[in-house]
Amino acid sequence: MQDVRWNDPRTSRYLGKSVPRLDGPGKVTGAAKYTYDMVLPGMLHAKVLRCPHANARVASIDASAAQRMPGVHAVITDIAGAGRFAGQEIAAVAADTEEIARDAIRAIKVQWEVEPHVVSTRRGMRDERRVGRPREATRGQDPESLWSSAAAVIEEEYYCPVREHLSLETHGLVVQWQEPDRATVWLSTQAVHGSRGELAGALGIPQQNVEVICEVMGGGFGSKFGPGVEGRIAARLSKMTGRPVKLMLERYDEQVASGNAPDALMRVKAAMSADGRLIALDSKIWGTPGNGNNSGIPMPYIYNVPNFKTWQAGVSTNTGGARAWRAPDRPPASFLMESVVDELANKLGLDPMRVRQLNQNNQVRNRQLELGAQLIGWENRNKAPGSGTGRYRRGMGCALSEWGGGMGQPCNCDVKIGTDGSVYVGIGTQDLGTGTRTYVGTIVAEDFGLPLSRVKADIGRSSLPVAGGSGGSVTAASVAPAVKDASMKARARFLEVAAGLMNTSVADLEMRDAKVLSKSNPANSMTFDQVCAKLPPGGIQVSGTTLASLQQGGVAGAQFVEVEVDTWTGRIQPIKVVAVQDCGYVLNKLTAESQLIGGVIQGLCMALLEDRKMDEPTGRMLNPNMETYKVLGSLEVPEIVPVLYETHDKVAGIGEPAVIPTAAACVNAVYNATGVRLRTLPMTPKRWFEATETNQ
């Protein structure tokens, strides 16, 4: 077969165009059934008893009252013998209704042996037993020897707090055990295939006997790879009772126990030459991933620093465990490095955008900076930061990003063409809201010259050909090339048949408007259905695999933010964001842009609002709900300009990178607006006022 390439967007009908998502109609009308919406006959509801203490052993547990409650069908009390954070799973029940399950949980009596706890990074880092093995790196000369020769030096502390995923559909599942050894599981997951193993393990059956279904899911952002503790609990309860069991986490459970992004406390000293080149950097970072103590913030991230010394360590605390959070570790890395660069550039009175261009080699990013500057009107920023007057002050900032987003696990894909004209494409991937299902369909529709409505795109089940989990922005770059491979193979077979029927060569044929046409003789044509009717019995069935040649990783991004600060209240309002994102070949413009917009909004949430608050005395989370764990709402969302910056003709993933630089650009914009540098996120009004007093 000749080289497979992506369809030319100048002549394509779907690829590279804006195509409304296939599952849109189901989602807007309530017809789409999420895991949370599943109601099966005879289904039981499970609830989990969680440790109320940050660190406590279970001395005794008495579930007899719960056992005896009418409507309670199963109780398990052996999930964990101790709670190492407030919220850890200890016991669970399955009952006829949620209300009864909640009553039963309250009826379980636990005697706790409470042990001392630490829930903050700052306290944990003072105890060396809690600090993990440091990761260190050095380059060039010892920064210590260079400070005195630099034109500008800063020495500061920055802090980015723990942030939550806050998926709107909480983690959870419905397990339907089928005697003797099978199970069907509806799971809100980022990995239908990858989740089977853990569920099968909990059920003690072979992995092949577990079918995981996730047709639509309400957000994951990195937190929904495995079925997790709740998945294993529901599996056990279903097997024990022989009934379907539904276990969806409650909002509180979700926020204390289903993952978060570690915080980052950085102490840094950095230096720049008079012409704006970074000379040296010495950084130390601590962060808590909860019970573990690993840490992985890349420093100095995208910048070329000839001489540096970096050190970082994870700090173990009695808090809920971290999980991958959209572009893991990059948003804090960007906040830290972009603040440092911005501070130094401003100290020297240099244009922060030019200084960025000087200190990193990626030419795509440097061009993106030019474009973004133009779109935001960079020349209108305050040339002297904080020089504006009046109550409301505006300013602009920028920041950069880098992300992988290439191929993950190679996938398989099936394409079938029926003699009845039916077209089917199946792949065991999942759609997190990124538009996966839609491009699975459009790739095939494009190749066959069919309207999208003629293609059945089947995803979200583990009985479909294997595909990897959706993390690391690898889905599009892994799934699309497999679909394309299968589609082109099916097309080749189809055209062979058509060529025979039409007495011409395959090379002479093209397909459009559900027809097969001879290029040399327009009068010679057949409808798609006519050709299908002549296919061999059983039609065409082919499978494809990810073609590495159709994807490429490594995406660059640049963002500009304009903010307005109310100097009377300290309130910071983003006005406009320009997000220029390297994206390779665009499969669907509409959904790709939505990814950028969504990433930016999450980045703004990080800049302005998100903060998991732990209470040191009680060891509990203070804001385990959506009222006090804040995210942006409709009155705060600014104008956002997504720019798909196409650099090559291969598919790259962009699910994550847009979230990376927004917060950093926002911090820099506040400085440009008011001359006030905030070094702790989120930038609350109180912090802005405090900073006004200390660093005007």
Partner 1 sequence: MPEEKSAKGELSRRQFIRASGAAVAASTVAGTLISANTKADAAPTVPAAIGAVDVSLKVNGKAHTLSLQPRVTLLDALRERLQITGPKRICDRGNCGGCTVMKDGKPIYACMMLAVDAHQSEILTVEGMGTPERMSVIQEKFVEHDGLMCGFCTPGFVTSVHAVLQKNPSATMDEIRRGCAGNICRCGTFNRVFEAAVAAARSGRGA
Give the residues lining the site for ligand FES (CB under 6 A): 168, 219, 433
Stretch that binds partner 1, among 274-282, 313-321, 350-358, 636-644 (CB under 8 A): 636-644
Closest CA to 585 of 2, 22, 3, 15: 15
| Under 8 Å between Cβ of 279 and 306 | yes
Question: With respect to ligand FES, which residue has the nearer C-beta, 348 or 631?
Answer: 631
Given a contact cutoff of 8 angstroms between Cβ atoms, the answer to whether 223 and 258 are in contact is yes
Binder to partner 1 among 3, 10, 11, 30 (CB under 8 A)?
Answer: 30
CB of 621 to ligand FES, least distance (A): 19
Nearer to ligand FES, 224 or 493 (CB): 224
The DSSP secondary structure of 44-95, one letter per residue, reads: EEEEEEE-SSSSEEEEEEE-HHHHHSTTEEEEE--S-SEESSTT-EEEEEEE
Cβ neighbours of residue 214 closer than 8 Å, sequence gap 6 or more: 35, 186, 187, 188, 189, 192, 430, 460, 461
What's the closest the beta carbon of residue 520 comes to partner 1, in angstroms? 35
User: Is residue 81 involved in binding partner 1 (CB under 8 A)?
Assistant: no
Q: At its nearest, how many Å lie between partner 1 and the CB of residue 190?
A: 11
- Nearest CA to 353 among 374, 332, 331? 374
CB of residue 433 to ligand FES, shortest distance in Å: 5
- List CB contacts of 73: < 8 A, sequence separation 6 or more: 44, 94, 95, 96, 241, 243
Among 279, 345, 364, 432, indicate the residue that binds partner 1 (CB under 8 A): 432
- Which does residue 240 touch among ligand FES, partner 1, none (CB within 5 to 8 A, set by kind)? none
Are 54 and 620 within 8 A, CB to CB? yes
Among partner 1, ligand FES, none, the one that 633 touches (CB under a kind-dependent 5 to 8 A) is partner 1
| Residue among 134, 218, 418, 449 that touches partner 1 (CB under 8 A) | 218
From the list partner 1, ligand FES, none, which binds 28 (C-beta under 5 to 8 Å, kind-based)? Answer: partner 1
Q: Alpha carbon 9 to chain centroid distance?
A: 27
The span from the CA of 184 to the CA of 441, in Å, is 26
| 31 is a contact residue toward partner 1 (CB under 8 A) | yes
Selected binder of partner 1 within 13, 17, 456, 571 (CB under 8 A): 456
Among 506, 597, 613, 618, interactor with partner 1 by CB under 8 A: 597
Give Cβ neighbours of residue 549 (< 8 Å, ≥ 6 apart). Answer: 3, 4, 481, 650
Binding partner of residue 597 among ligand FES, partner 1, none, CB cut-off 5 to 8 Å per kind: partner 1
| Interaction between residue 70 and partner 1 (CB under 8 A) | yes
Given ligand FES, partner 1, none, residue 98, with its beta carbon under 5 to 8 Å by kind, binds partner 1
Binding at 594: pick from partner 1, ligand FES, none (beta carbon under 5-8 Å per type): partner 1
Beta strand residue intervals within 356-437, DSSP E = 392-403, 412-417, 423-426
Q: What is the enclosing helix (H) or strand (E) of 576? A: strand 571-582
Q: Is 575 in the site for partner 1 (CB under 8 A)?
A: no
Q: Which residue is nearest to ligand FES (CB)?
A: 168
Please report how close the Cβ of residue 34 comes to partner 1 at its closest, in angstroms.
7
Q: Which one of partner 1, ligand FES, none interacts with residue 243, CB within 5 to 8 A by kind?
A: partner 1
Smaller CB separation from ligand FES, 223 or 360: 223
Biggest CA-to-CA distance, the chain: 86
The reply to whether 590 sits near partner 1 by the rule CB under 8 A is yes
CB of 454 to partner 1, least distance (A): 9
Closer CB to ligand FES, 433 or 638, in the complex: 433
Residue ranges in 242-271 that form contacts with partner 1 under rule CB under 8 A? 243, 250-251
Distance CA 71, CA 338 (A): 57
State how far the alpha carbon of 258 is from the alpha carbons of 164, 172, 238, 255, 330, in Å: 9, 10, 22, 6, 20
Check residue 24 for interaction with partner 1 (CB under 8 A). yes
All residues at 6 or more sequence positions from 30 whose CB lies less than 8 Å from its CB, including other chains? none
Shorter beta-carbon distance to ligand FES: residue 56 or 216: 216
631 binding partner 1? (CB under 8 A): yes
**Which of 84, 196, 232, 437 forms a contact with partner 1 (CB under 8 A)?**
437
**Min separation Cβ 437 and partner 1, Å:** 7
Distance, in Å, from the CA atom of 339 to the CA atom of 348, rounded to the nearest integer, reads: 14
Q: How far is the CB of 169 from ligand FES (least distance, A)?
A: 8
Q: Write out the two tokens for 541.
A: 């069935």
Q: Binds 169, which of ligand FES, partner 1, none (CB < 5 to 8 A, cut-off by type)?
A: partner 1
Stretch that binds partner 1, among 78-86, 132-140, 295-303, 433-441 (CB under 8 A): 433-441
3-state helix, strand, coil in the chain (%, to 5): 30, 25, 45
**Position 37 contacts partner 1 (CB under 8 A):** yes
Nearer to partner 1, 243 or 393 (CB): 243
- Read off the DSSP letter of residue 465: S
Residues within window 127-166 making contact with partner 1, judged by CB under 8 A: 166
CB-nearer residue toward ligand FES: 219 or 298: 219
- Report how many residues bind partner 1 under the rule CB under 8 A: 81
Strand partners, 577: 561, 640
State yes or no: residue 634 binds partner 1 (CB under 8 A).
yes
- Rounded distance between C-alpha atoms, residue 331 and residue 657, angstroms: 9
CA–CA separation, 607 and 623 (whole Å)? 18
Nearer to ligand FES, 233 or 654 (CB): 654
Helix (H) or strand (E) holding 265: strand 264-272
Q: Does 20 contact partner 1 by CB under 8 A? A: yes
Cβ proximity to partner 1: between 343 and 562 the closer is 562
How many other CB atoms are there within 10 angstroms of residue 420's CB atom? 10
Choice between 168 and 384, CB closer to ligand FES: 168
Cβ proximity to partner 1: between 98 and 649 the closer is 98
Q: Which is nearer to partner 1, 218 or 410 (CB)?
A: 218
Q: Computed from CA positions of residues 169, 170, 171, 173, in that sequence, does the dihedral angle turn out positive or negative?
A: negative
Task: Tell me how far, at minimum, the Cβ of 248 lies from partner 1, in Å.
Answer: 8
Q: Which stretch binds partner 1 (CB under 8 A): 15-23, 288-296, 530-538, 667-675?
A: 15-23
- Using the rule CB under 8 A, which residue among 29, 60, 148, 694 binds partner 1? 29
- Give least dist CB 587 to partner 1, A: 14
Given ligand FES, partner 1, none, residue 206, with its beta carbon under 5 to 8 Å by kind, binds none
Q: Which helix (H) or strand (E) holds 280?
A: strand 278-287
Q: CA distances (Å), 588 to each of 133, 438, 591, in order?
A: 44, 8, 6
Q: Which residue has the tokens 């900076």?
A: 369
Helix (H, G, I), strand (E, B) or coil at 233: helix
Partner in contact with 217, chosen from ligand FES, partner 1, none, beta carbon below 5 to 8 Å by kind: partner 1
Q: How far apart are CA 248 and CA 441, in angstroms?
A: 31
The DSSP H or E segment spanning 152 is strand 152-160
Q: How far is the CB of 530 from ligand FES (least distance, A)?
A: 42
Distances (CA, A) of 301 to 297, 304, 338, 647: 8, 8, 9, 22
d(CA 21, CA 19): 6
Question: Pick from 8, 78, 99, 144: which binds partner 1 (CB under 8 A)?
Answer: 99
